[in-house]
């Protein structure tokens, strides 16, 4: 009887784990036929987003703007693609970001090499990043985490308003 009960709980645990894993961006999405295609990074996007956290923090120290760190998997994570298309690619966000943020994007491939694994470990150590994609961190110029979020419903203006509400009390533009 004990073995039957233990087996039932084990099956329930495995089922819950599978459901939980499939609710975010996971291996199953990457291999799925409905997984999005990689978004080509345009020259404009390259200019808007930095890829070096340390350089972004230095710039933040100089210009007084907080750093928005976007941790993504644009080639395989559907919610990263949605966040990029519905929020970060929109005029409202771009105007706000240009005037108020230092933007950093770390775009991770599905299959990570040593360099990407080291970046992930650094993100975990510094910011408590647990591997959930997409993750958006708002950092002050010293690298202190002010906010951790991800995709949010409501469009670009709602996202901008949310960020404004979490930013340090400074004058924000538009």
Two structure tokens written together for 3: 């073995």
Q: What percent of the chain has pLDDT over 90?
A: 66
pLDDT reported for residue 46: 52
Bigger pLDDT: 37 or 1?
1
Bigger pLDDT: 120 or 32?
120
Q: SS3 sequence, the chain?
A: CHHHHHHHHHHHHHHHHHHHHCCCCCHHHHHCCCCCCCCCCCHHHHHHCECCHHHHHHHHHHHCCCEEEEEECCCCCHHHHHHHHHHHCCHHHHHHHHHHCEEEEEECCCCCCHHHHHHHHHHHHHHCCCCCCCEEEEECCCCCEEEEECCCCCHHHHHHHHHHHHCCCCCCCC
Bigger pLDDT: 48 or 161?
161
- pLDDT of residue 125 exceeding 80: yes
pTM score:
0.73
Tell me the per-residue pLDDT of 131-152, one tens digit each, with 9 for 90 and over: 899 999 999 999 999 999 999 9
CATH value of 42-166 in 3.40.50.1100, 3.40.50.2300, 3.40.30.10, 3.30.70.2340: 3.40.30.10
Q: Characterize the bridge pairing of strands 145-149 and 135-139.
A: antiparallel
- Domain coordinates of the chain in residue numbers? 42-166
Burial environment of residue 104 by CB neighbours within 10 A (0 to 12, 13 to 18, 19 or more): buried
Tell me the per-residue pLDDT of 5-57, one tens digit each, with 9 for 90 and over: 434 443 344 333 333 333 445 433 443 333 334 444 443 445 689 999 999 99
pLDDT reported for residue 66: 96
Average of pLDDT values for 146-173? 89
Query: What mean pLDDT value characterizes the chain?
Result: 79
């Amino acid at each position: 009887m004990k073995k039957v009960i233990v087996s039932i709980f084990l099956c329930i645990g495995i089922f819950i784990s599978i459901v939980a894993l499939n609710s975010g961006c996971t291996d199953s999405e990457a291999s799925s036929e409905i997984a999005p295609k990689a978004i080509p990074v345009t020259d404009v996007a390259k200019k808007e987003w930095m890829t070096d956290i340390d350089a972004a923090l230095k710039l933040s120290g100089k210009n007084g703007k907080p750093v928005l760190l976007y941790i993504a998997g644009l080639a395989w994570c559907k919610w990263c693609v949605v966040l990029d298309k519905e929020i970060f690619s929109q005029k409202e966000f771009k105007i706000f970001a240009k005037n108020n943020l230092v933007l950093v994007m770390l775009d991770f491939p599905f299959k990570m090499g040593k360099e990407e694994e080291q970046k992930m470990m650094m993100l975990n150590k510094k910011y408590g990043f647990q591997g959930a994609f997409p993750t958006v961190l708002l950092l002050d110029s010293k690298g202190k985490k002010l906010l951790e979020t991800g995709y949010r419903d409501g469009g670009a203006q709602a996202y901008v308003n949310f960020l404004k509400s979490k930013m340090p009390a400074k004058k924000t533009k538009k």
